[in-house]
Structure 1
Amino acid sequence: MMDNEEDHLESLGEKLHDLILHKHADMAPKLTGMLLELPGAVIGQMLQDEELLTKALDRALAVLQPDDSKLPSKADDADSVSSDSLGEQLYDLIELYNTGQTQKITGMLLEQKKEAVLKLLSDPTLLEEKVQTALKTLQDSGKVQQETDVSDSSDRDEAEAIGETLFGLVQDIEPVHCADITGMLLEMDSETLQQIMSDRVMLEVAVQRAKSALEGALSPPQPRKD
């Protein structure tokens, strides 16, 4: 299996090298090596799409031969590079990975110090590692959010089911005030609710107490006798 993957990668590399040789003969080996760091699917697209390949080569060249206006010269300090400039270059490189999360991943990686971001721009292997880590983080957080939503939905469904079941039981005992009494009983903790729903005697006692409390609240105050 590994041999097949290596053969496939070697085949891609040969095809890529032949295409790059016509454009940048003097730097073909270096550029080919850099582009081979990208996922196989992306390399396959570049072999079919000359425009995509040209863009990828331009970005790789920008890394190898940084524009003085974008990256600092040896005499400059990393702080002299604007965050916007770094963000644009990083975005362009990350976009090649076709993750569908380029904007978010770029934002995550830009939270690092400028020196670390500059290193990512010049080290394709490190960049790929950071991109994959960031993508996994985003995917995991998406799963957690999805699980939370499902859990909340399940809790609501369970509460509604208990309410409906309890209403039916209370209606058999006290049809007149069943809605109000059900509402009062639903304020109990879930464990107590389960007990009274499974024990008819406990349920009747709870209903009578709730009814008495309800009637007391509804009855007009009696005049005091001196």
Structure 2
Amino acid sequence: MDDEDLESLGEKLYDLIYPKHADMAPKLTGMLLELPGAVIGQMLQDEALLTKALDRALAALQPDSSKPPASKADDGNSVSSDSLGEQLYDLIDLFNTGHTQKITGMLLEQKKEAVLQLLSDPTLLEEKVKTALKILEDCGRSQEETGVSDSLEKDEAEAVGETLFGLVQDIEPVRCADITGMLLEMDSSTLQKILCDRAMLELAVQRAKNALEGTLS
């Protein structure tokens, strides 16, 4: 999205937000402009979606007073997994995929640093949501259909490779590139199954690791 589009969206958002939250309109507009362009466009058309996003932005600006303040010992790990999951769920829910819970679960399997990056980078989050949605759709298709073609389109193969690499990296960070390469040799239906099933993925990673170590010894 270029600067002109961003400015135009910002003006439209501000006009809608100002009557409801005059004092905080500039701040709220800025926060919502961090979302992907497609989501902002939807919010301009759908008042319920805009209200939902505003409620979340307001909640983020007003710390929950019922929660005890974090102690200094917690500073290095101040964002709990539950909190990350909630924030990620809220952002993914704005995409209206119909698979918010599943996609949140898939993305939360990454390391905390990667999840934090998703929360701060709307463009990256949008890419990951699209990839996860594609994987879920492919999983659904492979369960419904028999004789699924083993040929993956180039773009799809690239997206699957990136997602697989991130998941493998969490399980086996040292040899993740080699192991990902080995797993990508599988046929597409098996590959989609291991992307949908964490236990199958861990087993496949372990087998690949054993095979690599056997080759090296």
Compute the TM-score of the two structures, normalised by the length of structure 2.
0.50
What SS does structure 2 have at the residue aligned with 1:59? Answer: helix
Structure 1 residue 17 displacement after superposition: 0.7
Amino acid at match of 1:129: L
**1:35 has 2:26 as partner:** no
Q: Deviations over 1:20-77 (max 9, x none)?
A: 2223333322321221233444323322333321210121223333325569646362
What is the alpha-carbon distance in structure 2 between the residues aligned to residue 49 and residue 71 of structure 1? 36
Contact 2:103 2:132 in 1 (8 A): no
**Percent identity (aligned):** 71
Matched, 1:52 2:49: yes
**Which structure has greater helix proportion?**
1
User: What residue is the counterpart of 2:62 in the other structure?
Assistant: 65
The count of corresponding residues between Structure 1 and Structure 2 is 146
Determine if contact 1:95/1:102 at 8 Å carries over to the other structure: yes
Question: Distance in 1 between the 2:71 and 2:118 partners?
Answer: 18
Per the alignment, do residues 134 and 102 of structure 1 end up closer, same or farther by CA in structure 2, a change over 3 Å counting? same
- Going from structure 1 to structure 2, the CA distance change for 1:79 and 1:69 (only over 3 Å counts) comes to farther
Which of 92, 97, 101 is the equivalent residue of 1:99? 97
Counterpart position of 1:135: 130
Match of 2:87 in 1: 89
Relative to structure 1, the CA distance from residue 55 to residue 140 in structure 2 (aligned partners, 3 Å threshold; closer, same or farther) is closer
Unaligned runs of 5+ in 2: 151-217
* Residues 13 and 32 in structure 1, CA contact (< 8 A), matched pair in contact too: yes
Structure having the higher Rg: 1
Could you tell me which runs of 5 or more consecutive residues in structure 1 were left unpaired when the two chains were aligned: 153-226
- What does residue range 109-124 of structure 1 map to in structure 2 within 5 Å? 109-114=107-112, 117=115, 120-121=118-119, 123=120
Tell me the TM-score normalised to structure 1 length: 0.48
User: 2:103 & 2:69 partners in 1: Cα distance?
Assistant: 24
Q: Does the 8 A contact of 2:14 with 2:25 survive in 1?
A: yes
CA distance in 2, matches of 1:79, 1:102: 26
Q: Retained in 2: the 8 A contact 1:94–1:102?
A: yes
Contact 1:35 1:43 in 2 (8 A): yes
Separation (CA, whole Å) in 1 of partners of 2:111 and 2:68:
15
Match of 1:11 in 2: 8
Query: Hey, what's the Cα distance between the residues in 1 that align with 2:15 and 2:49?
Result: 16
User: Among 6, 14, 17, which residue is 1:20 paired with?
Assistant: 17
Counterpart CA distance in 2 for 1:149 and 1:103 is: 29
Partners of 1:71 and 1:81 within 8 A in 2: no
The residue aligned with 1:190 is none
Query: RMSD across aligned C-alpha pairs, in angstroms?
Result: 3.7
